[in-house]
């Protein structure tokens, strides 16, 4: 019994660390997409909140597809995942835009206020998104040891 628990514990920790690595790589790409769209949109769109939302949504589309297929490898029920993902990202979009706007307003004299505001808003939403995707959107209940070992 102890050996089985040790093996399962090891597999869970290895899988979790692999998920975090993939999530970070995909997250970096997502942030890059978000920032580039945000930066370009700020030049084209007068309203900063709209530009931030547009960048966030662009990154979100990429994040859903990449995390579903690569990080969490869960190909079941795309509509259920999409529904939960939209709920999660709607909440983090609000948090992201609110933090970004508040910091832009508070850091009035700081030269890199746009970059710092973006970084803090994005980092906060990234932590919330990983936890939400792992335990809400793409959660897979382990039914037995054999199913877990195949993954």
Both ends of the chain: CA-CA distance in Å? 21
What is the value of pTM for the model shown? Answer: 0.66
Over its length of 151 residues, how does the chain's per-residue pLDDT go in tens digits?
545 444 445 555 556 678 888 999 998 999 899 899 999 998 887 788 888 888 988 988 999 999 999 988 887 778 888 999 999 989 998 999 999 999 999 998 889 999 999 899 988 988 898 899 989 998 876 544 444 444 4
In this prediction, residue 49 carries a pLDDT of 86
In this prediction, residue 7 carries a pLDDT of 47
Tokens 């195949």 sit on residue:
150
State how far the Cα of 86 lies from the Cα of 77, in Å rounded to an integer.
Answer: 14
In this prediction, residue 11 carries a pLDDT of 56
In this prediction, residue 6 carries a pLDDT of 43
* Cα distances (Å, whole numbers) of residue 151 to 4, 21, 23, 64, 68: 16, 16, 17, 20, 14
């Amino acid at each position: 019994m102890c050996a089985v628990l040790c093996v399962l514990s090891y597999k869970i920790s290895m899988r979790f660390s692999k998920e975090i690595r993939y999530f970070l790589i995909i997250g970096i790409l997502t942030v890059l997409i978000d920032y580039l769209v945000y930066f370009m949109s700020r030049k084209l769109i007068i309203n900063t909140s709209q530009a931030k939302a547009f960048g966030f949504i662009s990154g979100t589309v990429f994040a859903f597809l990449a995390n579903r297929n690569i990080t969490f490898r869960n190909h079941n029920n795309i509509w259920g995942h999409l529904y939960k993902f939209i709920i999660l990202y709607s909440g983090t979009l609000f948090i992201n835009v609110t933090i970004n706007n508040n910091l832009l307003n508070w850091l009035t004299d700081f030269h890199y206020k746009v970059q710092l505001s973006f970084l803090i808003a994005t980092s906060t939403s990234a932590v919330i998104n990983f936890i939400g995707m792992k335990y809400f959107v793409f959660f897979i209940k382990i039914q037995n040891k054999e199913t877990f070992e195949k993954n």
